[in-house]
Structure 1
Amino acid sequence: MTTATTTQAGNVCRTALAGAALILAGAAGTAQAQTNVAIYGLVDAAIVGERGGSGGKVTKLTSGASAASRIGFRGTETIGNGLSAFFTLEAGTKIDTGEIDAAGTIFNRQALVGLKGSFGAVALGRQYTPYHNTLVKVIDPFSTGYAGTAKNLFPHFGSNIRTSNTITWASPTVSGIDMELAYSAGEQTSSSAGRQFGSAVGYAMGPLALRLAYNNKNTTVAGANATGRNILLGANYNFGPVKVHAGYGADKGVGSAPLGNPNNPYGGVRPTPSLDGRELLLGFSAPVGAGTLLFSVMHKDDRTAFDQDASSWGVGYLHALSKRTGLYAAYAHINNRNGAGYTVANNTEAGTGHTGYNLGVRHTF
């Protein structure tokens, strides 16, 4: 795609997004009695430094180091007999350039509509996976953001985060127990090509939260379908001032653990994505002063013949200026072994080296 074509596509996306915002804002004003519509968002920007890659030292301004910048629209309508309808349309944006964060798309983060009742909630559209929900809400004290993100070693890129053409069911919570099911159609010539499904079951009561998730996806390799599987078990326990986090992952098969940065960031022999691996995370979050201290350590055990293991640690501090605005600083380092290619990422970028830091500001609305 030429630069002119890309610019034109970006202009069209921004115009369409602005039009959608006006339409939905108008709908919120005229249909308040029937439908509750809210506009929400997050604006995040940071100075990001990366070290240790073959490209040398990198210092840049990045959008979404803690959480991706976005604007969204969500609403509900009470239909009656305990039934309600709901929708979400959420677009990502890059604060450093003002661009839509995915070329050719607008509501690339979430786009769904569904019904909710005594049976739970059923939704159709582009949605988060049960695997992602388990990692971000239960296991990772960094909530998959900042330099200390679990993305550094846990397989959490691409379709492990969200999928298109997806049908989900979320159960009601009964005695602290709930379930998730998700099926994403590949919509290719073969009904199984590109398809993905997942599930999760969790328990949350008082200070304890437990969750077990499963993910299964088909990847086309040399014209044939190959299956990758992920199992994720996580827990956290709130002791009062300190919340302790733990997670264990097991990955097996083609595409089960893609590298965050597949572009051979360290040079030399290209690292090989693991087809059989395990991950372990231990961490905590604790209030300190006017903010929150975050810390985690992780280990990747590659059980293939390449034995490309890795270990990492990360620390961060989030300083609240108000209920909606805060400053943050984060640092992480990875120790790669036997030519492993893991890089220090943040919420929106895969990273280019084994060491990274973030200094940023974020505001929610």
Structure 2
Amino acid sequence: MKNILSSAAALMCGLAAVSAATSAQAQTSVQVYGIVDSGVAHMTNVNAAGDSNTKVPSLTSSFPSRIGFKGSEELGGGLQAFFVLESGLAMDNGSSQQGGRMFGRAAQVGLKGDWGILTLGRQNNMTYISGLKTDVLGPHLFAIGSIDPYLPNARSDNAIGYMGNFNGFVVGATYSFGRDASAAGGPAATNCGGEVAGNSKACRQYTALLGYENKQWGLNASYDRLNGNTGAAGGLTSPNNTDIRTTVNGYLMLGATKIGGGAIDRETNAATGQTESLLWYLGVSHPVNNFVVDVQAAARNTKNSDDDVTMLVARLSYALSKRTVLYTAIGRMDNDGASAVALDAGGTVGAGKTQNGVMVGLRHHF
């Protein structure tokens, strides 16, 4: 009898230990995820001589490739702690994107509750978030990010962020003590690290968003102001230099068809002078069985300048499964005056030339 009771007690203790361990484990969950996306693009008029080029894109294809780690823990009372670490990958050579950062797409920790989401670290700011549901092409190789490379790179280092959704009304903001600590070059590495003692303006950035959204339609507005500092790119070489974007955009669902568009006013006060431009875009996305057809037009008009651009892109995607997609796209970028905006993000084009492009690719989510 003693042996039976002893065995039963040991079994109960073991079950209790397993239960406690399972309960503790259930409080924390970690997920590895990512996108692997690559293709081949053929571009015309890549230089003043009018030559063509065929290549594997680096910055993006249909979506930027990435690998990420995210986790969360329930703290009780509806409060949750979480983290996100996300690294961008260049599929043509395997290098890191976002200025060579290890976790250039996101490196943040935060708290989430009924009151909203509070985040600390490198994160998407409100300019990025405001366009997520309205740009049908997203960060595609041929998209509005070719006209304004900041848009798909609208992330802030050294930042505090907040997002809240209250019965469809959305409010958000970020404040950065130094938007971009990388000096590697390009739109994601502009050498404006900030956090300078005695200089409260150096590379400071604040963004804000206000809007309303539901399953049928949404409308929002955002504001983005960046100060410069010594050595920063884009002519923002003084804390008094600024780059300001004001965005209004929206989307409408007509059954399964999505219409999205917006306008972005940009005012730059740089060491090289003052400029003002208006970028608008309008797109339609329509699914047919395993296919999705996306079409988008966009244009940028620069005040007091003939250097304007107009873009037209069409994309066809076919889902081989829930995780794997084949796609092809064609596009055209018309450059006026001395404008030299390439159709493909990060590409080149002869000044004043029209560029046509075609691409095919494969995307896998995990």
TM-score grouping bracket, smaller chain normalisation: 0.7 to 0.9
1:275 alignment partner in structure 2: 275
Of 173-182 and 38-47, deviating more is 173-182
Q: Which residue identity is paired with 2:215?
A: G
Q: Which residue identity is paired with 1:313?
A: L
Q: Which residue identity is paired with 1:192?
A: K
Mapped partners of 1:113, 1:297: distance in 2: 37
1:22 alignment partner in structure 2: none
Counterparts of 1:36-47 in structure 2, within 5 Å, are 36-47=29-40
When residues 310 and 103 of structure 1 are mapped into structure 2, their CA distance, relative to the original with a 3 A threshold, is closer
Q: Which runs of 5+ in 1 are unaligned?
A: 1-28, 256-271
Normalized against structure 1, the TM-score is what? 0.80
- The reply on whether 1:94 has 2:84 as its aligned counterpart is no
2:67 alignment partner in structure 1: 71
* CA shift for structure 1 position 310: 1.4
Mapped partners of 1:109, 1:273: distance in 2: 31
* CA shift for structure 1 position 356: 2.3
2:241 alignment partner in structure 1: 226
SS at match of 2:92: coil
Q: Which runs of 5+ in 2 are unaligned?
A: 1-21, 179-194, 230-235, 350-354
How many residues align? The count is: 313
- The reply on whether 1:58 has 2:53 as its aligned counterpart is yes
Mapped partners of 2:120, 2:328: distance in 1: 37
Consecutive aligned runs of 4 or more in structure 1 exceeding 6 Å deviation: none
Mapped partners of 2:64, 2:260: distance in 1: 23
Q: Which residue identity is paired with 1:299?
A: A
Mapped partners of 1:274, 1:44: distance in 2: 38
Counterparts of 1:323-342 in structure 2, within 5 Å, are 323-342=322-341
Mapped partners of 1:35, 1:196: distance in 2: 33
Counterparts of 1:1-365 in structure 2, within 5 Å, are 32-54=25-47, 56-63=51-58, 64-102=60-98, 104-135=100-131, 137-147=132-142, 149-153=143-147, 155-157=148-150, 161-171=154-164, 173-186=165-178, 187-189=195-197, 190-220=199-229, 221-254=236-269, 275-303=275-303, 305-345=304-344, 349-353=345-349, 354-365=355-366
Mapped partners of 1:340, 1:199: distance in 2: 31
Mapped partners of 2:338, 2:305: distance in 1: 9
| Paired residues of 1:50 and 1:352 also in contact (CA < 8 A) | no
Mapped partners of 2:23, 2:43: distance in 1: 49
Normalized against structure 2, the TM-score is what? 0.80
Overall identity of the aligned pairs, in %: 30
Mapped partners of 2:168, 2:333: distance in 1: 37
Q: Which residue identity is paired with 1:294?
A: D
When residues 223 and 133 of structure 1 are mapped into structure 2, their CA distance, relative to the original with a 3 A threshold, is closer
Please say which structure displays the higher CA radius of gyration: 2
